[in-house]
Amino acid sequence: REAVVGAMAVAAAASLAAAPAGPPKPEDLLDGVIALVPRSAVGAGLRRARDMLDYKDAGTVAAVLGNGRRTSAHDTVPFALWSAARSLGDFEEAFWVTAQAGGDVDTTCAIVGGVVAAGTAGAPPA
């Protein structure tokens, strides 16, 4: 169930990031995702991620939200969407912020990359 909710959350985030009006504000992105996912551990993590948008240190945020070390959606998706929300306009920054938290970096960066690339930041620089 949590894996399905995690997939829903990532799809919702990518869709919201791709809005024709341009990327939403970080809080609007997470609020939009939270409104679209059912009550779950992933949803609870997303609410915590929303509350932590003003934190600048990815390591601190990952310590609270998780960074994928437990290879579960509720330990991966909230942090990845926190990172994506904070860096929607900057593909490279999104990856560096995400990677510096460690954990399951290939998974968290894949999620972040998909969401950020869906928005106006587009594909990574050549």
Which amino acid, one-letter code, is at 28? D
Binding residues for Mg(2+): 104, 106-107
Alpha-carbon gap, residue 104 to 102, rounded angstroms: 7
Decide if 9 contacts 40 (C-beta within 8 A): no
pLDDT at 68: 78
Q: Tokens representing 36?
A: 């679209």
Dist CA 123 CA 126 (whole Å)? 9
pLDDT in tens, the chain (126 residues): 999 999 999 999 999 999 888 889 999 999 999 999 999 999 999 999 999 999 999 999 999 999 878 778 999 999 999 999 999 888 889 999 999 999 999 999 999 999 998 886 555 655
pLDDT value for 11: 97
Pairwise CA distance, residues 30 & 9, whole Å: 9
Token reading at 106: 């290939």
Confidence at residue 2, expressed as pLDDT on a 0 to 100 scale: 93
Specify burial of residue 79 (Cβ count, 10 A radius: 0-12, 13-18, 19+): buried
Please report, in range form, the residues annotated as the binding site: 104, 106-107
Q: How far apart are CA 42 and CA 5, in angstroms?
A: 7
